[in-house]
Amino acid sequence: MIMAPKAVQKVLDGFYWILAREAMLPDSNIFLVADGNRFVLFDAGLQNFYQETVLAIRDLGLNLRDLNRLILTHTHLDHSGSTPLFQKDAKNVEIWVSEEEGSFLEQGDDTVVYGSMLGNRLPPIEVAKKLHDGDVVEVGDFTFQVLHTPGHSIGSLCFYEPNHQLLISGDVVFRHGSFGRADLPTGNGKQLTQSIARLAELPVEMLLPGHMGIALKGGQREIQLSLQFARQVF
């Protein structure tokens, strides 16, 4: 079978969306952001689709050795599964993840990573930086504010870029009033609702979630709709 690269869509100059593979197994969106002459990935995707991700990165004219940071919104396997493969191929990539979930990766703990359910536990992974609410992450032309937004998982992070009114929202909120599940280990529906309420206050145009589509405009309205539905469910 000939392997096809994942589809890629440009979001802004130096900012690309590598679309999740639509398949039986869950995969996550990946966001690639230029960082000088290197680049950063937000989320790694499922390991089963790693080769398709690499082909998409190469199609952008980039080389894996220039991947300097892999920043995870959270550690569920559909977002983190390709991490060891990137570490092997990119050599000098740093893994950045929340304080709360970094230890799960370091210990190879499966509770939150959820690998056994998806047939592939991760080996222990070295974490270079553990992120906290209020941290600022500079990537090329973009300055992200780190928001700790638990509820889908204990250490779920969102990354807000105020200059572009852009939010990388992981599995906290999706488009069209949808939101992450709260019934997996360390999930909590009330916390999730509180996290969405916090996001709903932000002036967001571009909403870039971990699954399904992205919104280039009107992100805040979509988050407010998610909040409305979450309040009905939790």
Q: Which two tokens stand for residue 206?
A: 């571009």
Q: How many chain residues touch Zn ion (CB under 5 A)?
A: 2
In the complex, the smallest distance separating the C-beta of residue 76 from Zn ion, rounded to whole angstroms, is 3
Binding segment (CB under 5 A) for Zn ion, from list 11-19, 70-78, 83-91, 98-106:
70-78
Which lies closer to Zn ion via its Cβ, residue 155 or residue 219? 155
Does the protein bind Zn ion through residue 135 (CB under 5 A)? no
Cβ count within 10 A of residue 20: 23
Query: Per rule CB under 5 A, is residue 211 in the interface with Zn ion?
Result: no
Question: Cβ closer to Zn ion: 100 or 171?
Answer: 171
Provide the edge-to-edge strand list for the sheet that holds 38-42: 8-12, 15-18, 30-35, 38-42, 67-71, 94-98, 129-131
Contact between 76 and Zn ion (CB under 5 A)?
A: yes
> How open is the CA angle 206-20-212, to the nearest 5 degrees?
50
Q: Exposed, middle or buried by CB within 10 Å (0-12, 13-18, 19+), for 92? A: exposed
At closest approach, how far in Å is the CB of 79 from Zn ion? 6
* Shortest CB 27 distance to Zn ion, Å: 11
Amino acid letter, 63: N
How far is it, in rounded angstroms, from Cα 65 to Cα 38? 9
Scanning residues 149 to 188, which ones bind Zn ion (CB under 5 A)? 171
Minimum Å distance from CB 78 to Zn ion?
A: 6
Please state, in angstroms and rounded to a whole number, the distance separating the CA atoms of residues 58 and 62.
5
Query: Smallest distance from the beta carbon of 98 to Zn ion, in angstroms?
Result: 13
3-class secondary-structure state, position 129: strand
What does the alpha-carbon distance between residue 234 and residue 229 come to, in Å, rounded to a whole number? 9
Minimum distance from CB of 118 to Zn ion (Å)?
A: 11
Residue identified by tokens 């920043």 is 71
- Residue 59 falls in which region: left (phi positive, over 0), alpha (psi -120 to 50) or beta: alpha
The nearer residue to Zn ion, 18 or 34, going by C-beta atoms, is 18
* For Zn ion, the closer CB: 52 or 171: 171
Least distance from C-beta 96 to Zn ion, angstroms? 17
Stretch that binds Zn ion, among 50-58, 73-81, 100-108, 142-150 (CB under 5 A): 73-81
| Closest to Zn ion by CB, 13 or 183 | 183
The span of 16-24, 55-63, 69-77, 80-88 binding Zn ion (CB under 5 A) equals: 69-77
Using CB under 5 A, list all residues that contact Zn ion: 76, 171
